[in-house]
Amino acid sequence: MSYNRRQFLQASAAFGLGSLGASVMSFSTPASAAQSSDYKALVCVFLYGGLDNHDFVLPHDNASYSKLAAIRSELFQQQGGGRAQSALLALNADNYGDYGNQRFALASEMTGLQSLFEQGNLALVGNVGPLIEPTTRTSYEQQSVRLPPKLFSHNDQQNLWQANSPEGAFTGWGGLFGDIMATANANRDGVFTALSTAGNSVFLTGLSTQPFSISSGGGSAIHMLEYTDEEVPGLGGLLQQHFRGGQQAGDSLLAQDMAAKLSGSFDSNARYNQVRAQAAPLATEFPKGPLASQLKGIADAIAVRSELGVNRQVFFVGLGGFDTHSRQANNLPPLLGQIDQALMAFNNALNELGVADKVTTFTASDFGRTLAINGDGTDHGWGGHHLVMGGAVQGKRLYGSFPPPVYGHDQDSGGGRLIPTVAVEQYAATLGRWFGLNDSELALALPNLKNFSEQNLGFLA
């Protein structure tokens, strides 16, 4: 079978090689899509391994806390006083009336995020996870509903969160949001629409939008070596000479396209690094650690948004270590502390830049974890709790559901593994609507959204 140029480019986009296919694949969207010049950005903080929702947002009323403490007594003992009821950080939610006698708290390592919640700049969304349609314990056990494929598998659930498809997906909803909102950016080539500090991500890959990798130091992830002198170029110079020359492409249209794209990548990297080098450094200090370093890189990129010609951006950062089958008492608290400190510094940087209400940061993870413990850890779950941070957030409130810490309720699929009550696509649609997408555009990017009656959870103004 032979391909002509257009067929190859279309196939390239379909198989995730969008850097070659960007010129021919794009959404056809209504003219309403983001003609505004105001800036907005989404920042996805992906917690790889599966964040234990039961050790992140904890019950704080006496009855519920006692039930959790009884089930997790061995784990609580290993955590010392860190999970004592008195050590937890109580949340004074404005909508507790929706949750009866239940009260909640954050883990003791998250003092900064508790303060943001109390200030109204942070909300919690309970029991979010991949769904095709609303599912209960009964329908799950009777197999009377369509279920996401390959539940409880790390790679597949990461992809279901990022791309609404198991491992092997070609586009993610962050990248599709970028495709749709491309008309908002003065820089119409879309190079700086989707930026990642965690390498290539299916989340940021659209049909035309492709992730642009930046380092935690703020520059592009590709640093071309400078010429050592006019006669002997460095490696970067040699590569640029090679692809800019074009002779190696010959008459091959494919080779010409690849050479042109690589040459354009050199230009984009050089442009990004030049813009960043000319920018004034942020005064906000970030703590040490991989998440804080990545978020500083994101803040540095947001600082030069005008110079890059972008009004809509989607960012992706990642932090690993949450697969806490063992040693959870040792490993999880420091990770929660790292999240707290990094997000607080990022929030301070956004305030410094004057864009705290223009940037919405949200967490995602493979899945939650079981209520049951296995001795010194927890096992793979399904639904989990997440946070949304920013000046546009309708904060100091709880959204979704926070099932009680008991077995056998209507959202328990076994062992306290929560069946989600909020689909990832409902979560994504609420973010996307704030970002500027309309109903028809959300339906394009989130194909299962039509199966859920509530398509705006209300946590963003």
- Could you report the average pLDDT of every consecutive run of 10 residues in the chain (461 residues)? 34 35 38 58 98 98 98 96 98 98 98 98 98 97 96 95 87 97 76 92 94 76 44 55 57 56 63 91 97 97 95 97 98 98 98 98 98 97 98 98 97 97 98 98 97 98 91
pTM over 0.75: yes
Q: Is residue 270, in this structure, part of any structural domain at all?
A: no
Q: Is residue 332 part of a domain?
A: yes
193, 436 in Cβ contact below 8 A? Answer: no
Q: What's residue 241's pLDDT? A: 60
**Interior/surface letters 293-304, b for 16+ CB within 10 angstroms, e for the rest:** bbbbbbbbbbbb
The rounded distance, in Å, linking the Cα atoms of 8 and 24 is 10
pLDDT of residue 36: 43
CATH assignment of the domain containing 177:
3.40.720
4 assigned to some structural domain? no
Contact 415, 379 (CB under 8 A): yes
Asked if the structure places residue 391 within a domain, the reply is: yes
Range of the domain at 208: 26-220+283-451
Instruction: Output the pLDDT for position 339.
Output: 98
Residue 37: the pLDDT is 57
Query: What confidence score (pLDDT) does residue 164 get?
Result: 87
What is the predicted pLDDT for the residue at 33?
Answer: 40
Q: Is residue 228 part of a domain?
A: no
Within a domain: residue 267?
Answer: no
Q: What share of the chain is helix, strand, coil (3-state, %, to 5)?
A: 40, 15, 45
Q: How many domains would you assign to the chain?
A: 1
pLDDT at position 240: 58
pLDDT at res. 87: 98
**Cross-strand partners of 90:** 105
Specify if 216 maps to a domain: yes
Rounded distance between C-alpha atoms, residue 190 and residue 29, angstroms: 16
Establish if 346 belongs to a structural domain: yes
